[in-house]
Amino acid sequence: MAAEEKSLHFIEQIIEDSLASGFPQENLRFRFPPEPNGYLHIGHAKSICLNFGLGLKYNAPVNLRFDDTNPAKEEQEYVDAIKEDLLWLGFQWSEELYSSDYFQQLYDWAVAMIKNGKAYIDSQSSEAMAIQKGTPTQPGVDGPFRNRSVEENLTLFEGMKNGDFPEGSHVLRAKIDMASTNMLMRDPLMYRILHRHHHRTGNDWNIYPMYDYAHGESDYIEHISHSICTLEFVMHRELYDWFLDQIYPESSSQSNDVDKVRPHQYEFARLNLNYTVMSKRKLLQLVQENRVNGWDDPRMPTISGLRRRGYTAASIRKFCESIGVAKRENVIDVSLLDFCLREDLNKKAPRVMAVLDPIKLVITNYPEGKEEFLDAENNQEEEAAGFRKVPFSRELYIEREDFLEVAPAKFFRLSIGNEVRLKNAYIIKAEKVIKDSDGNSIEIHATYDTDSLSGSGSEASKRKVAGTLHWVAIKHAVEAEVRLYDRLFIDEAPDSHKEKNFLDFMNSNSLQTVKGFVEPSLATAIAGDHFQFQRLGYFTVDKDTTNSKLVFNKTVGLKDAWEEKGKKEENSLNNALKDINKYFKVATREERIAIRKAIGETLAGIANYSLLQNAFKKNINNNKTSLLFAQFILKYSSLKSADFDKEAVSKLYLMSLRSESTFVRSRALLNLRDLETNLDLVHSFRDEILKLQSNPSKSTTERESEFIEQVLNK
């Protein structure tokens, strides 16, 4: 029992405490409340799994309630997509509800609040209201319309409802406390005028409630016991409770009565995923600017995009379970999602053979016209998967990268004079290669060992060779379009850099389309079918597939190439920093130039923006090695001065110009000299450079003096 309690996450513990305090389990009720203004993404999946998971754990109903209070952004298309995503993930809601179901009740409660002196009509402009509201450190002040009479407020509110006023002319505000330390409590908006067509209520309404007002009241109407939100709503909880106070009976002796259940809001950390943007606004921008091919583009983090790419519902549920439910924000590595997917597909996906960059292989001693149908295991992880027959003949396709005419050491694939095994087939030896007029290899001639058939039990079949290659028989090969998808962004935090637009980090290689060939067993594959292309990765049949055209999406590789690349770049950066120490120790200028050149080449080859940014900031300190390294990042990396925080750049130059090391000072002067733009930065250090020029204690060298003159003359 103790071990069970330890495994509870904090939301479950809250519910357990509620039950222990006498709250009836039959009164537990949860909800998932999406706004239908876009497609759900992987971040929503965490909330979905949490809310519906609680429903399953406690045998409690979970409502699907669409927060449809802003007709300017909401569409039926989004409603339909959200429902499809939920069902695909494996969850079924208790009731399908809409905030718009409660428009009349919300209006009636607002009227009651006006009558009770708890709400008023404000006719200021939004700009004036923002000024009047104050700042986090300065209290707000009462606006000119705060003390309107109840009669005037009621008349204006009815006129707003009837469509008598233009958008922006009036709003209904709650009358709370303009001096509250919580700015959300400084008379927040309850209703605004919108002359827009609503996807459900048509043109019946000209005013629409704000989220903060509608959310808690809708929870109350639906008898929601635990209203679970993400952490950005922590400050909203006070307002959530205040609005409930206006409608919930003060004497709650009947609090166990289902009709009197008062909802309580609890917050958990939302999902933050690296190499991804989670903002619906930014995802919409990608769609509207045609930077992706719609909401279900397989590069998008939307659930529909992930589904089309080939992610399974089980892998997403497993991912959400793995990351847990926490109170503190953190960033999850997208590679964990890919790991969950590989783990799932490894058990489910049949193994097949496909060649994506083909080169022709002719087995010269294999009889012309002969065909064999060889046994191939469908999935070694699943015994019941059985075997299939694959055709084998004299002419095959293999991957171009699996052949080198002259191979280096540790090349365990095909080369002239060396042997490899063809998967499920024979051992072959390359004898010669035919090339075109440009010297490109176009055809490989090989011989095969007739007694080496895989699984035959012969001595030859047991012979160990360097490697095993996949292949497809040309005569039986089925042509397919293969879309090779990669991460949409090359930076781990694309929308976190205030000096850059997130679009600057889009991966130009996120989609490559190739013509490949697959074994004939895939000819009848249908959209959504998953396969492991042996040695290449997991692939899924795309919805664009027709009877005459097969289309596959690359879902994920067999290994995490990004993790390997990231480790390689991080190691390169660390090694470059170590080389800086040598720079100070070598005796000659020629040696320093060689070290500087090597470091420069390393830095120029690192594409990870965040890695370079973090290394830059980390090395702005009084250590001469660190300062020189930061200056080298400015000089040689793909980033420019404008990409860095201005204060950090200024601090670096100031510390470098004051350094005791002539190497550090010289590099700072050279970087300032070479600046083609931002001359203001150069001029801001003029006094510091003049001090350097006149300060003999710095042991200024002749070359450094020359650099000083060059900078001063810019």
Interval 236-280: pLDDT, tens = 999 999 999 999 874 444 444 446 799 999 999 999 999 999 999
Residues forming beta bridges with residue 32, ordered by sequence position: 64
Calculate mean pLDDT across residues 508-536: 97
Instruction: Note the pLDDT of residue 253.
Output: 43
Instruction: Note the pLDDT of residue 706.
Output: 83
Confirm or deny that 270 is annotated as ligand binding: yes
Burial readout 172-206 (b: 16 or more C-beta within 10 A, e: otherwise): bbbbbebebeeebbbbbbbbbbbebebbbeeeebb
Q: Say whether pLDDT at 386 is over 50.
A: yes
Q: What pLDDT digit, counting tens, does each position of 145-182 carry?
A: 999 999 999 999 999 999 999 999 999 999 999 999 99
The more confidently predicted of residues 675 and 48 is 48
* Amino acid in the structure at residue 473: A
Note whether 208 and 192 are within 8 A (CB).
yes
What is the sign of the dihedral through the CA atoms of 631, 636, 641 and 645?
negative
Q: Alpha carbon of 463 to those of 449, 458, 555, 661, 691: distances in Å?
A: 11, 9, 35, 64, 77
6: pLDDT confidence band, cut at 50, 70 and 90? Answer: low
Q: What is the CA radius of gyration of the chain?
A: 33
Residue among 83, 118, 200, 270 flagged as catalytic: 270
Instruction: Note the pLDDT of residue 2.
Output: 43
Confirm or deny that 67 is annotated as ligand binding: yes
Q: What pLDDT digit, counting tens, does each position of 191-214 carry?
A: 999 999 999 999 999 999 999 999
Stretch among 47-56, 173-182, 498-507, 537-546 having the lowest mean pLDDT: 498-507
The more confidently predicted of residues 444 and 328 is 444
For residues 72 and 210, what is the distance between their CA atoms, to the nearest angstrom?
13
Instruction: Note the pLDDT of residue 705.
Output: 83
697: pLDDT confidence band, cut at 50, 70 and 90? Answer: low
Beta-carbon count within 10 A of 289 CB: 9
Calculate mean pLDDT across residues 386-404: 97
CA dihedral 245, 247, 248, 250 (to 10 degrees): 70
- Quote the distance between the C-alpha of residue 332 and its chain's center: 9
Q: Alpha carbon of 533 to those of 113, 251, 420, 458, 563: distances in Å?
A: 64, 66, 19, 28, 21
Confirm or deny that 107 is annotated as ligand binding: no
Q: Say whether pLDDT at 402 is over 90.
A: yes
Confirm or deny that 42 is annotated as ligand binding: yes
Confirm or deny that 43 is annotated as ligand binding: yes
Q: Alpha carbon of 246 to those of 114, 174, 242, 280: distances in Å?
A: 11, 11, 7, 32
Strands (E) located in 207-338: 207-209, 226-230, 264-268, 272-273, 331-332
Stretch among 49-53, 78-82, 134-138, 697-701 having the lowest mean pLDDT: 697-701
For residues 110 and 114, what is the distance between their CA atoms, to the nearest angstrom?
6
Confirm or deny that 183 is annotated as ligand binding: no
Q: What is the mean pLDDT of the chain?
A: 93
Confirm or deny that 37 is annotated as ligand binding: yes
Calculate mean pLDDT across residues 517-542: 97
> Which distant-in-sequence residues (6+ apart) come within 8 Å of 427 by Cβ?
419, 420, 421, 448, 449, 452, 460, 463, 465
Residue among 161, 262, 280, 309 flagged as catalytic: 280
Confirm or deny that 211 is annotated as ligand binding: yes
* Amino acid in the structure at residue 331: V
Backbone dihedral angles phi then psi of residue 508, each to the nearest 5 degrees: -65, -15
Establish whether 597 is a catalytic residue.
Answer: no
* Amino acid in the structure at residue 229: C
696: pLDDT confidence band, cut at 50, 70 and 90? Answer: low
Confirm or deny that 278 is annotated as ligand binding: yes
Instruction: Note the pLDDT of residue 566.
Output: 83
Q: Say whether pLDDT at 679 is over 90.
A: no
Note whether 420 and 449 are within 8 A (CB).
no
Q: Please give the share of the chain, as a percent, with pLDDT higher than 90.
A: 80
Establish whether 260 is a catalytic residue.
Answer: no
Instruction: Note the pLDDT of residue 692.
Output: 80
Q: What pLDDT digit, counting tens, does each position of 271-313 carry?
A: 999 999 999 999 999 999 999 999 999 999 999 999 999 999 9
Confirm or deny that 35 is annotated as ligand binding: yes
Backbone dihedral angles phi then psi of residue 163, each to the nearest 5 degrees: 85, 25
Instruction: Note the pLDDT of residue 713.
Output: 80
Confirm or deny that 36 is annotated as ligand binding: yes
Establish whether 515 is a catalytic residue.
Answer: no
pTM metric for this prediction: 0.86
For residues 635 and 247, what is the distance between their CA atoms, to the nearest angstrom?
64
Q: What pLDDT digit, counting tens, does each position of 323-361 carry?
A: 999 999 889 999 999 999 999 999 999 999 999 999 999
Q: What pLDDT digit, counting tens, does each position of 567-613 carry?
A: 888 898 998 988 888 888 888 999 999 999 999 999 998 888 888 99
Residue among 35, 381, 405, 443 flagged as catalytic: 35
What is the sign of the dihedral through the CA atoms of 271, 275, 281 and 284?
negative
Q: What pLDDT digit, counting tens, does each position of 610-661 carry?
A: 889 999 999 999 899 999 999 999 999 988 777 888 889 999 999 999 998 9
682: pLDDT confidence band, cut at 50, 70 and 90? Answer: confident
**DSSP letters for 302-338:** BHHHHHHHT--HHHHHHHHHHH---SS--EE-HHHHH
Q: Say whether pLDDT at 3 is over 70.
A: no
**Closest to 523 in 3D by CA, of 497, 554, 494, 545:** 545
